[in-house]
Structure 1
Amino acid sequence: MAPTLLNVEEVAAMLRKTPASFRWMIQNGTAPKGAKIGGRLYWRESDVLAWIDRQFEEAS
């Protein structure tokens, strides 16, 4: 089964950020790692969820 791929707007919504704020995170290296596929940035949903979990672990 193929992983669920998310675009900038979808990841931003998951993080409750505006797309512009999420792009700022990408530029500063604080966003989850994505990959360019066909010239567009995408994130695997599982990677974004793992990144969120790590943020909570690091905050503890």
Structure 2
Amino acid sequence: MPTTASTITRSPVDAINGLSPGDRRVLNENELAQRWGLSPKTLQRWRSEGRGPRYLKLSKRVSYPLESVIEFERGALHDSTSERAAR
């Protein structure tokens, strides 16, 4: 029987964390590049330089946990050219 949204059950952990079955908690390289208006090559370079958000590498697949992306974005906030935004 094919799985449909109505037949998918949520795990207790998902329910506690407020996740629904279709929620994706990671972005791939192309999705993050599009979100930030960058080239995927820039993200590749940043990884080799130790810059950018934390990422997962499973086999050859690179993905960025959304939580890490948001944390990185918050750390990059500035109030003015002379100081960073309060966290």
* 2:26 corresponding residue in structure 1: 5
Of 37, 52, 55 in structure 1, the residue corresponding to residue 58 of structure 2 is: 37
Runs of 4+ aligned residues of structure 1 deviating over 6 Å after TM superposition are: none
User: Which of 10, 17, 24 is 2:38 aligned to?
Assistant: 17
With CA pairs under 8 Å and 6+ residues apart, which has the higher RCO, 1 or 2? 1
Considering fraction of residues, name the structure with more strand. 1
Gaps of 5+ in 1: none
Whether the 8 Å CA contact 2:30–2:40 is kept in 1: the answer is yes
Q: 2: CA distance between counterparts of 1:27 and 1:21?
A: 10
> Sequence identity, in percent?
17
TM norm structure 1: 0.78
1:51 to 56, 64, 72: 72
In proportion to residue count, which structure has more helix?
A: 1
CA RMSD in angstroms comes to 1.9
